[in-house]
Amino acid sequence: MESIIKLLKFCGFWGRPYQKFSLWQPLCHIAVLVVCLLAPGVIFIVRNSSNFASAISAAIESMGFINTILLGTTMLYHRSALENAYGDIRIALRIGKSSSIGDVQRNIEFLEKSTNFLFKGYTVFQSVVGTGYALTIPSLTVVYYVQTGQWPPLHGIFEADFFVFDFTTNVWLWVLVIAVGMFAMLCLISVLVIVSSFNWSFLHYIIGLFKLVHIRISRLNAFANPQSRQMELIEIVKLQELVYRCARTAEDTLNLFLLTQFGTCVVAICLTMMTLTLASNDQDLLIKMILMLAYILFNIFVYSMLGEELIATSTSLAEAAYGTQWYEWSIPEQRNILFIVRRSQKTAALTTGKFFAVNRSTFAATLQAAYSNFTVLRQMVHSH
């Protein structure tokens, strides 16, 4: 996770030690997305509302831009709370590393390795999807020119290719627009990769720390000395409070973003399938929509799986505490066990705007809602 923090600092989304935090760098990232991507998308939809397939494609892209902008602004708004929570995670890891339990040490090592793997894997995935999305139009245009000696109708990287000048009749202006689009895509990918990787790694660490607490609770019966067991219980209570505090920060930070993410995902998946149905002969649009659909499904799937595991690991602590031989221990030890059980009865979970928890059922319900809306929309279009 250290590498992710370094990238956040490099892009200006994270504070540097002994330096005043400056907003200009992250706001420049967000401004590029608004000016070069979102604003042209809105103008394009208004001007091309008669072309249903193009308008839908531009709307789907604009939803992705809105989600990315919201992701970046959410990170900035909750930056101080997230920095404090990251400090709590480091404290919790130090507490865990001081434990003499071998399983705890092995789980911490696995936690660090799996987080690095998650970051690298998502970086590769997003780079492949982003590169494929950015190079589809230019590559097919150049291939057509090489094969025929004539330029096909010129388009930008994104469906919303509106600019203040007409670039569709001039190759050099088209090259300039492609260059601007690739720069905007680079900013888009950087915000997505860095901020999303932090969110996922942050949740992954919280889940891993809940598992460490579970391991330490389940090993309490091995302590023959009541004094040593009481010290271990006190440390477990402190560790559990740290992890729950981090989980609350994660939920407060992400709940509005997840509400928008899942809401737009239902609409975007529905419209993507509709676009694929209407534009089955448009090769450029098909490739772009398939990439967009893969991106949408991947993101909500990851959040759903992390939410499911967060719920499962946080609620497992009460069962682990109840499975100890607490009835044979002293009153102070039983009181600490009661603290653990009472706290774990309040489930740590991700929510969508405080409405419902994010888990595997949420993912399935999202796909079902998207397909239902798609079938209704398809019948409406065919009837007209």
Average pLDDT, the chain: 81
Distance (Å) of CA 308 to CA 135, 166, 302, 350, 358: 36, 49, 10, 9, 7
pLDDT number for residue 151: 81
Per-residue pLDDT averaged across 52-71, rounded?
77
CA 88, CA 92: separation in Å to the nearest integer? Answer: 6
Phi, psi values for residue 248, rounded to 5°: -65, -40
Which among 371, 117, 137 is positioned nearest to 265, based on CA atoms?
A: 371
Which among 92, 66, 65, 79 is positioned nearest to 16, based on CA atoms?
A: 79
| % pLDDT > 90, the chain | 0
Per-residue pLDDT averaged across 19-26, rounded?
78
Residue 227 scores a pLDDT above 80: yes
CA 283, CA 289: separation in Å to the nearest integer? Answer: 10
**Greatest mean pLDDT range, 67-71, 154-158, 247-251, 293-297:** 247-251
CA 358, CA 304: separation in Å to the nearest integer? Answer: 5
Per-residue pLDDT averaged across 295-312, rounded?
86
In sequence order, the 6+-apart residues with CB closer than 8 A to the CB of 157 are 133, 134, 136, 137, 138, 178, 181, 182, 185
CA 384, CA 381: separation in Å to the nearest integer? Answer: 5
pLDDT number for residue 322: 85
Least confident segment among 111-115, 197-201, 289-293, 342-346? 289-293
CA 341, CA 338: separation in Å to the nearest integer? Answer: 5
Which among 282, 43, 318, 272 is positioned nearest to 152, based on CA atoms?
A: 282
Angle at 160 between CA 159 and CA 162, to 5 degrees: 130
| Tens-place pLDDT, residues 172-184 | 887 888 888 888 8
| Tens-place pLDDT, residues 355-373 | 888 888 888 888 888 888 7
* Lookup: tokens for 374: 């798609």
| Tens-place pLDDT, residues 100-146 | 667 777 877 887 888 888 888 878 877 777 777 778 778 888 888 88
Residue 53 scores a pLDDT above 70: no
